Every structure is written in C-alpha cells, then in structure tokens.
Structure 1
Amino acid sequence: MTASPKDLKEPPTTRSTHDVSGRDVTIASWICFFAWTFAVYDFVLFGNLLPQLAASLGWTEAHSTEVNTWVTAGTALVAFAIGPITDKIGRRKGILVAVAGAAVASLLTATVGWVYGISAGLGLVFLVLVRSIAGLGYAEQAINAAYLNEMFAHRYSDPAKAKRRGLIYSLVQSGWPVGSVLAASSVYLLFPIGGWELCFVVAAIPAVFILWAGRWLKESPQFRRRKEVDDLRRSGRLDQARERADVYGIGLGEQTSPMADVFRGTSLRPTLVIGSSFLLNWVGVLAFSILGTSLLTAESGKNISFDNALTILIVSNATSFLGYLFHGWLGDRIGRRNTIGLAWILCSICFFAMLQAPDGNYPLIVALYSAGLFFLIGPFSALLFFTGESFPVHTRATGSSLINASGQVGAIIGGVLITATLAAGHSWETATLWWGCLPILASGLLVFAAPPIDPRTVRTD
C-alpha cells in the first residue's frame, strides 16, 4: 500500500482489461482499506450507540440486547447472500454494492427515532430491516479477502515475496480498529451536538468517495479467467473451454452452484472447521467488542461512565490496530492457522482477568481490555486471508461469505444467551464470562483442526 494520490488521476482505461499491474494491486489495496474502514465505522457505531438509543426509546437492557439479536439475524442473511452474488457478478461490483448498501443503512438509521415516534412496532421493524441492510457493510471484509487474495496471487507469486502477503493484507484488514476508533471518536464529538442521529448521517458521507474511487478497481485475473472458461462451457464450446483451462491452469471438473461446491471435496473441511471457529469466536466478539460499551457502563458490569467507556474503546482499538499488523506478520512466519489459534487462547485469558479486576481499577481495566482486543480482533487479519486461500476461485467469495456470515450466527446465539442470562437476574460480568471467555477459548482450540496452509505457497486456481 504505497500508492500516492497521483495514482488516482486517470482511470486505467487504456490498458488491456486482462492486465493487472503492481499499481493496480496497490490502488485496489488502498480502496479496499478505506471501504472496509468506513463499513466498520457504521457497523460498530450501532453497537457503541445502542445504550444511548435504548435510553432515547425507553428500552431495558434485556430488550436492547434482544433487538440487537434480531438485527444480527438480518445482518447474517444479507452478509451470506452477497457471497454467491459476488461469485457471479465479480469482486469489483460486489465491493461497490457493499459500500452503497452500508451508506444507505446509515442514512436510514438516522430516521429511526422519527418512525418510532409514529408507531413503536413499526419503528422496531424498520430498525431491524435497516440494520439488516448494514450487513452489506459487514460482508465487505469477506469480499475484500476473496478479491485481494486473488490480486496478491499475481503480484506476489514468487515464494520469497509471498511471505509478505499476510502483513500487507493486515494493513487492509486493520480498517476494523481504525473504523472502530473513528466511530468512538465521532460519538464523542458529534453526540453532544446532534445526538445519535447526527452520528449516523455523518457515517454515510465517506461512501461517496469510495464509490467514486471504485472506477479504478480492476477485476481480479483469477475471476476473469474462471468466468471465461465457465462461459465457454455453458455455451457448449467444451473444446475451447478445455484449451483455455489448460492455459490458465484451471481444473475443469464438474461444477454445480458455488453454494453446493463449498460442501464438497477439499472445500468441506475448511467450510465446517473455520466456519465453526468463526461462529464460536463471534459469540465472544459480541460480548466484548460490539456490546463493549454496555459491559463497561452497566452497574453489573465494570460500572464506568459512558465518556470513560468511549475513551477505553478508543485506546483499546488503537492497540488492536497493532494487533492486526502483528498477527499478519506472525502468520507469514508460523502459519496463519497456528497464529489464529494461539491468539484466541491468549485472548480468553486476558478477558477473564479483566472481569476479575476491581471495578475501581481503571488503568488495569484499560490494559486488560486492550490486550483482549489485541488478541481477539488482531487475528482476523490472518483469519480472513486464511479463509480466502482455503477455497478455489469458483467458490472463494461464497465460502468466505458463508464463514463470514457464520460469525453473525454466533452473534445471534450470543445475543440470545446474554439476553437470557441478564433476564434471569445475572450480572454482565457473569454473562460475558460464560458467553464471552469460554466461546473464545473453544474457537482457538477448534481452529487447529483446519487444514494447514504453507504461507509461502500461492493458490492460482
């Protein structure tokens, strides 16, 4: 990611659409970084503002987590649906659809209070539908992983250079902590001025830049080659399809839909293992990241003021940015699977220690919460790239989106469990111990069952 603004002066319309240069890959990396950053900005903003939104609409803690569970269910459906679509229309168009969807969701979220004022039931349904559309923003990371995995395969095909791919991708994926910091900072600055509505309006503005910059994105060579072979086969020109497949080094075995193929052959094991690990881990992500402000501010949690909780989120997410870089670098050396498993085990230990810390020990809570996010969020830079290289191009976006959506299923399960625990009279500390620390530990152990992939190898099929 070393491109300068001058790289974006003229769209690359004069070169062949079948050529991808190092400059194209660099520009794509920058655009994917900003697209993911602002998608996260909107996605995390809802969790950060949930206590304030709940107070504005008169919700109890249990009801707010119940609403978040319904929102998460809609997010999972939308995030999964975009995968097979992206395997059909291409990675470039998939990215632009995701960006536009996240922006629309932000703008519509700002009108929820007005709709809720007309009818509480209508407002609740409207909120769930709008935030489900925001699942397109969450799906951005799966599309980015599929797209950049293919683009990097051409720029870093040499084994010596291939070892850098994880670190470079971690810079793109670090949009999560950057977006999280921006979200927390915007709440701190904008909430006193215009309330939670203004925060969501501002969140939609960056999409204009991303959609404008998207004209410089080039489709990945792997997708174009696979589409060319599939088009020849569907048109009945089998001899030409075989010839092209031999030239491109693409297998021409029988293929059905991408959704069916992710549960067959060598794709089955990564689908089940990585998907299950992702699901379990997101139970913990919901507890400690998405609902972090609720845990930190609740009397039965760490009982910290809302302003101080935002400060903790800013500091801890800045720390998790370093976690992305570290785990991307480490994955290039000891393997991405091993990096993910070890980090999530350490994460569960850090959060367990934070829950045991005295409520009044503010510095200790900041340190342990930051360390927890370092080992929770940071490994996703290795996980998303590991997911992309675990599938062939025919099912890469579908497989990545399926696993990505399984995280939202985990969040749904976590939301149900946390809601039930709070409704039964237990504290936030107890709820996050059961449905945060333990699932994260289980996810770290389970991921070791995934097929190992040598980080020096490059998958071109």
Structure 2
Amino acid sequence: MSQCPENGAWRPAPVTNAQVKYATLVAFLAWTFAVYDFILFGMLLPEIGKATGLDDAAQARLATWVAFGTVVVALAVGPLVDRFGRRAGMVITVGGAGICSALTAGAGSIGTLVLTLIRSLAGLGYAEQGVNGAYLSELYSASKDPRIAKRRGLIYSLVQGGWPIGALLAAGLTAVLLPHVGWEGCFIFAAIPSLIVAFMATRLRESPQFEALSKIKALQASGMNGEAQALAQSQQMEAEQSVGLASVLKGKARRATLVLSCAHLLNWFPVQIFSVLGTTVLMSVHHVSFGNSLIILLLSNLVAYLGYLTHGYFGDRFGRRNVIAVGWMLGGAAFWAMLNGPSETWMVIALYSIGQFFLIGPYSCLLFFVGESYDSSVRGTGASIVTGIGPVGAIIASAGSAMFLGAGDSWLQAAIWFGAVPCVLSGLMVFFAAPVKQHAAKYEVAQPGHSSV
C-alpha cells in the first residue's frame, strides 16, 4: 500500500499521470478482449450446435441458461471488488474471461450442462466493465492533472469503446480462423490475449480510495478508532463501512441501485433485439440478405464507436445523466423509424446506424456515471449489480419476442414492443437518478435541489 506521510498522518500516495495512462490502456484492453469472448459464443453457437447435435430450440435453451448463469456470476464480482480491491477485480475478471475461452474449447464433447457452467464464467468478463467504471472513476478523480479532471468522461469513452472493437475482432478473426482451426481453435485463440492482459493488470496502481478504506479497516482492527475516524474524515469517507449486496440498498445508494438497475435492464431489451439479434430482425422485417445484414452490422459498430466518443465528450459538458437519457430516447425513436420505414437499403442502413449510435454510445457515460453515483465503500458492488442486471433484460426480451412470434405476430411487432419502446423507457428512467457533482475533487451524489455540473 502506498503511503505519503503528511504531518505524521498517513495519506495515499499521489496518483501520477503515468499510472493513469497505464490503467487506461489496461482497462481498454481488458474490456476489448472480455467482449471478444462474450461475443464469440453467440457468433459460434450455430457451429457448436452442429458439432454437439443441438437443434435450434436446444441452442436457444442453452443460450438462455448461459445468460442466466452470466448474471449470477457477474453479480458476485462486486462484493469481491469492494473486499479485495479494484486491481484484484481487474485480474479476476479479464483472467476469468480467458480461462472461460480456453475451457469452452474442450467442453463441446462433455455435455451441455458442463458447457453451460463453463460459459457462465463469461459473467466475469462481462462484469469487467463494472470494475472499469468503479476503478477509473476513482483513479481519475484522484488525479491532480486538470486536463484529466476536465475530460475524464471523454477519456473513459475510449475505454468503453472496447465493445465495438471487441465485437469487430470477434467477427473478423472468426471469419479468418474458423475454416482452419474450427470453433474450438477460435476459443483457444481468444484465451491468449485475455490472459496476457490479466498479467498486465497485476502491475496496476490500486486506487487511492480503496487504499484509504483498507487503512481505515486496519486501524480499526488494531483498536485505533480515533486515528481511523480522523483518516476517514480527511478522505471524506465513512469510518463504519458496510459491504455486501445489501449495502447498496441502504441510504442514498438505494436510489442509484433501483433507478440505474431498472434503466439498464430496460436498455438490454433493445441491445438483445437490435445488436445480438440484429441480423434476424433486418432479414425478417426488411428482407435484407444475410450478407448485407452483416455489412450493416459492421457499419453500425463503427458508427457506435463514434457514438462512444461523442457521448463521452458531451457528458463532460452537459451532465452524464442527461446525455444518457436523451441518447437512449433518440435511439428508440430511430429504431422505431427504421422498423416502420421503407425497405430501401440506404434508408435501413442510415436509421439502423443512427439507432446504434444512440443505443450503444451512451454506455461510455453510463458505466462512469454508475461509478460516480456510489461512495467508495460500495462502488464495486453497486457497479456489479447495475451492470450484472442488464442481461436479465435480454432474457425477458428473447422470451417476450418468442411469445409474440408464437402467437402469430411478426418480428416487426416484437421488435417494436421489446426493442424500440423499452429503449425510450430506459432513457426516461435515467432522469430519476440523482445528479452528481462531476467536477468535484471527490465524487459524491448531489443532494436533492442541487444542480449538477
């Protein structure tokens, strides 16, 4: 633990620009390759089904159970991060994604139950974004560089932009490798970079906030309660810290947990419909060919990356809460227009890309805003719950769409009610979250009646 004595009192060592740059690089690579593994399973599910004798229905059931397991594992990450540190969380999550990839390669011949359990470990990789949000929000807020304080949202948008890059890597490398190494080889190849990044994460600087929390606990354990209280006051923290899932359902953390979890769950409806099942929707609604649908998905992912940078930039200036809410509402409107508009290719491409721009782009603000909305003692737990609850929305969207289709409705109606409409509702829900003081030295939730900067 870093120490910086000041008038005889312990203080965390200052954060250097080199530490911020290294942490930003590692977080970007960690998220990129965690997404690579996360996306790879969905892309290769048909190939896995062929190799294991699973028909379409069995593949759908497998994907549903894997999604459920992913949620359970992702929710378990937060308390670990608050107990053992942000650095440990980075190592565990990205390393877990690599191990999951490697194990998946050998699970096809063992059985679907084992495959489900192994793929549930992908929840570690998915939870990595929550660890990023908690860790980097603390590290950036502790930096004394005014350039970082002014542009922290834009900088984080580069990190969160690992989602479309990871998705593009998964698509591109799979197209190249699959004919030569099979689906098992694709997963083995995906494991290598994740494990390398996990090793890089062991060299990260722990956040000063977590160092201070650890010091407070150590002083209390030694019976030095007065010193612990003094340190807590100097760091604007509570001396008595609660941990565990219940801790984010108390006090001012409750509002952030309920509102942001609900908003994220609703937003995963359109993520599932328009991103994961995008080719199916485009082919069914507008009769786009499979080849053209892949091109549209490729272009939309490139546009989505621009969305990350744009929303990160404006989030620093107009408040992340406002930018997230408006972005998702505009995304829902664009998807509704795409579904109900003409089937000309250029029109479909334009409206679908605009929808992805406003659906995916606000995530550069969301994970950082989640980190800002909690105190340091529960930041990891809060981030894991908000991010982990998202795939539940994907499960509901898939089940609801299947119900619509089974009742004789079309993908047009299913995509409207389980995609476009929830996208707008998720934006409206974000407005109920408390604003935060984005440019304060310490991130604290603004009190009701105070304006956010």
TM-score by length of 2: 0.90
**Is 2:90–2:198's contact at 8 Å kept on the other side of the alignment?**
no
What residue in structure 2 maps to residue 333 of structure 1?
317
Number of equivalent positions: 435
Percentage identity across aligned positions?
46
Query: For structure 1, which runs of at least 5 residues remain unmatched after alignment?
Result: 1-11, 116-122
Shift of residue 84 of structure 1? 0.2
Residues in 2 aligned to 1:370 and 1:125: alpha-carbon distance in whole angstroms: 37
**Is 1:275–1:406's contact at 8 Å kept on the other side of the alignment?**
yes
What residue in structure 2 maps to residue 114 of structure 1?
109
Query: For structure 2, which runs of at least 5 residues remain unmatched after alignment?
Result: 3-10, 445-453
Identify which of 342, 351, 354 aligns with 2:338.
354
What residue in structure 2 maps to residue 4 of structure 1?
none
Pair 1:161–1:110, CA change in 2 (3 A): closer
**Partner AA of 1:204 in structure 2:** A
What residue in structure 2 maps to residue 264 of structure 1?
250
What residue in structure 1 maps to residue 126 of structure 2?
138
Pair 1:54–1:348, CA change in 2 (3 A): farther
Identify which of 74, 91, 100 aligns with 2:95.
100
**Is 1:51–1:294's contact at 8 Å kept on the other side of the alignment?**
no
**Is 2:164–2:302's contact at 8 Å kept on the other side of the alignment?**
yes
Identify which of 193, 209, 213 aligns with 1:226.
213
Shift of residue 275 of structure 1? 0.9
Deviations 1:258-281 (A, max 9, x none): 422211111111111111101100
Residues in 1 aligned to 2:154 and 2:305: alpha-carbon distance in whole angstroms: 12
Identify which of 166, 173, 181 aligns with 2:168.
181
Say if 2:434 is the partner of 1:447.
Answer: no
**Is 1:222–1:460's contact at 8 Å kept on the other side of the alignment?**
no
What residue in structure 2 maps to residue 317 of structure 1?
301
Identify which of 83, 86, 91 aligns with 1:88.
83
**Is 1:184–1:310's contact at 8 Å kept on the other side of the alignment?**
no
Q: Which moved more, 1:192-201 or 1:145-154?
A: 192-201
Residues in 2 aligned to 1:405 and 1:331: alpha-carbon distance in whole angstroms: 23
What residue in structure 2 maps to residue 155 of structure 1?
143
Pair 1:125–1:293, CA change in 2 (3 A): farther
**Is 2:267–2:423's contact at 8 Å kept on the other side of the alignment?**
yes
What residue in structure 1 maps to residue 370 of structure 2?
387
Deviations 1:108-137 (A, max 9, x none): 22234323xxxxxxx221222121101100
Q: Which moved more, 1:142-151 or 1:256-265?
A: 256-265
Identify which of 163, 166, 186 aligns with 1:199.
186
Shift of residue 170 of structure 1? 0.4
What residue in structure 1 maps to residue 264 of structure 2?
278
Pair 1:352–1:57, CA change in 2 (3 A): farther
**Partner AA of 1:402 in structure 2:** I
**Partner AA of 1:264 in structure 2:** K
Identify which of 406, 419, 423 aligns with 2:389.
406
**Is 2:14–2:142's contact at 8 Å kept on the other side of the alignment?**
no
Shift of residue 149 of structure 1? 0.4
Deviations 1:238-264 (A, max 9, x none): 122112223333232x43324222111
Say if 2:155 is the partner of 1:168.
Answer: yes
Shift of residue 48 of structure 1? 2.6
Deviations 1:144-197 (A, max 9, x none): 100000100111575x75231100110111101111111121232223333433
Residues in 1 aligned to 2:144 and 2:406: alpha-carbon distance in whole angstroms: 52
Pair 1:323–1:162, CA change in 2 (3 A): same
Shift of residue 302 of structure 1? 4.3
User: Aligned to 2:374, what secondary structure does the other structure show?
Assistant: coil
Deviations 1:209-235 (A, max 9, x none): 202322321100010001110222234
**Partner AA of 2:403 in structure 1:** A
Shift of residue 290 of structure 1? 2.0
**Partner AA of 2:394 in structure 1:** A
**Is 2:26–2:197's contact at 8 Å kept on the other side of the alignment?**
yes
**Is 2:17–2:145's contact at 8 Å kept on the other side of the alignment?**
no
**Partner AA of 1:448 in structure 2:** F
What residue in structure 2 maps to residue 75 of structure 1?
70
What residue in structure 2 maps to residue 29 of structure 1?
24
What residue in structure 2 maps to residue 208 of structure 1?
195
**Partner AA of 2:34 in structure 1:** A
TM-score by length of 1: 0.88
